[in-house]
Amino acid sequence: MVSVAMLTEGWDANNVTHILGLRAFGSQLLCEQAVGRGLRRMNYTPDAQTELLPEEYVDVYGIPFSVIPYKGKPSQTPPDRPVNHVYALQERNALEIRFPNVEGYVYALRKPSIRADFTTLEKLFIEPEHTPTATFLRIITGHLEGGARGGGIGEYVEHNRQAYYALHHLQEIEFEIARLIVAALVGEGEQAPVRGSAKTRGMARHELFPQVLRIVRRYVAEKVDFRGQHQCELALEKYVHRIKERLLDAIVPNEQEGETPLLPILNRYKPIGSTADVDFTTKRNVHSTQRSQVNAVVLDSSWEQTAAFYLEQQTDHVFCYARNDRPFLLIPYEYEGVQHHYEPDYLLRLKNGGTLLLEMKGEEDDQDRAKHQAARRWITAVNHWGRLGRWDFTICRDPQRLPRTLAEADW
């Protein structure tokens, strides 16, 4: 792999073994940073006989690295934090959790006939605090030194979107959102459908569009909180993108009408993942485990610590669990036109044989709601696939109520 200008701040790869410096470094410090990336250790297990860490090397070419330190005050480097090794224990193979590596989903509509479960659809909130609906303008004449300080002539004039509101209607916006969803489902021109299979290309748009429009109108009526703003605020690009993506995650083939259910597309090289593959080092605090195949839980906050405590005690519903750290389970989703991956906090294998994705979440924003909608879509497809048992997804908004949340999730 060739990486250009990446071995500086923000790059963390401890398996770099060769550095070829061909560009002009602007400073000695930048040069030393590039070399330091290659000197990060991969193995922190000491030798049993010498009790020393094994030697590791990096081949460096072309970089004018100076071994003579600069003159100055001696630095007082604080002691380095201990490194914790997080890995799967072979003696706990009975606590292994296996999961599918999903990369996408398959639509195979025939009639076509679609549906959306509104009981699990995430809401959308209009956010005037982030995107103001009005501003003040004032005429400025001549030249102002420095920044704008309110100089000029005339009174301040409010500039708002009232003229836009007068020319457009909510029905027009709903039609446009429905058109974008249909285009994403069946593809436009030479482009393949972004979320389906090639089998959806030939379907009749005039049959699919009315169904999508009904879903859009119901979503706007039941799930959009305008917070006192004009309904035409929904035409802003970010809201159009969010509704389109949220409904694409919620729309599935209608099996009651004979459609093939939504199915996952698995990674062709590694379709099934496992907690047995966990093996990494971290300087963050960890909590040892007894009911997980992984030897420790990484504690990013007090929420993870509280959750790990209760999961170790929950013998009535939970058979075993694992923290999804250095994420091994990734759920694909799209937010405002950009592809992302969602990483649930915990995987739980319940005593009833099912597997539960658990998210510990306090305050949530709109992107969090998009993640949760994508997780429910993942659950639907994986359950239709059916080769790794039944799955479910739940959110715990208070770590002290986790036992009750698990009891309610034990279907």
What pLDDT shows up at residue 70? 47
Q: To 10 degrees, the CA torsion angle through 365, 371, 377, 379?
A: -110
Architecture per CATH, domain 90-105+265-409, reads as 3-Layer(aba) Sandwich (3.40)
Q: Decide: 34 and 22 in contact? Cβ < 8 Å.
A: no
Cβ atoms of 39 and 58 closer than 8 Å? yes
The CA distance from 407 to 401, in Å, is: 10
State yes or no: pLDDT of 181 exceeds 80: yes
CB 221 within 8 A of CB 121: no
Sequence spans of domains, the chain: 1-73, 90-105+265-409, 114-138+155-260
Give the highest mean pLDDT range of 8-22, 108-122, 139-153.
Answer: 108-122
Structure tokens, 246 = 């949220």
Tell me how far apart the alpha carbons of residues 116 and 109 are, in angstroms, rounded to a whole number: 14
Residues 192/201, Cβ–Cβ less than 8 Å: yes
Taking the C-alpha atoms of residue 23 and residue 114, their distance in angstroms, rounded to an integer, is 55
Weakest mean pLDDT among 17-31, 189-203, 236-250, 345-359: 189-203
Contact status, residue 134 vs residue 161, Cβ threshold 8 Å: yes
- pLDDT given at position 219: 97
Report whether 95 contacts 291 (CB < 8 A): yes
Q: State the pLDDT at residue 199.
A: 44
pLDDT tens string 217-276: 999 999 999 999 999 999 999 999 999 999 999 999 999 888 889 999 999 999 999 999
Burial of 124 (0-12, 13-18, 19+ CB in 10 A): buried
pTM of the model: 0.76
In one-letter notation, the amino acid at residue 191 is: Q
Over residues 310-354, the pLDDT tens digits come to 999 877 889 999 999 887 899 999 999 899 999 999 999 999 889
**Mean per-residue pLDDT, 141-166:** 72
